[in-house]
Amino acid sequence: MQYTRHKGLRRLLAAFGNSLAGFRFAFRRDEAVRQEFVAIALLAPVALLSGKSTVEIVLLISGLFAVLITELLNTAIECAIDRISMDYHDISKASKDIASAAVLLSLLYCAVVWIAIFLF
């Protein structure tokens, strides 16, 4: 399949379509992505209703999106590694483990933000 270059609004629309395709693929492929979409759907209204200021609301929601963004990048890395080879390799494992560690850090960041806002 040959890559087609678009310009202007057509490029933006194509990029948006590619982004939606990425969401669909990740949602179908990865249970963690599905769980994080559910968590956002449940917790974003909590953030909107319980934040005492705009800053608190933004921090609460940014924590949720940080987790989803990191999980999407983790899924992309896993797909790329699997595309190269399904055979075991130490570097492939390290790449997947490092991406997983990034997800863990984003979850910790989100938890710290939510705990700090609701407890203090």
Catalytic site positions:
71
**What is the spatial distance between Cα 66 and Cα 80, in angstroms, rounded to a whole number?**
21
Give the pair of three-digit tokens for residue 57.
Answer: 């609301």
Q: Where are the beta strands (DSSP E) in the chain?
A: none
> Can you say whether residue 7 is alpha, beta or left, with left for phi > 0 and alpha for psi between -120 and 50 degrees?
beta
∠ CA(109), CA(113), CA(30), 5° rounding? 45
Nearest to 82 by CA among 40, 120, 35, 25: 25
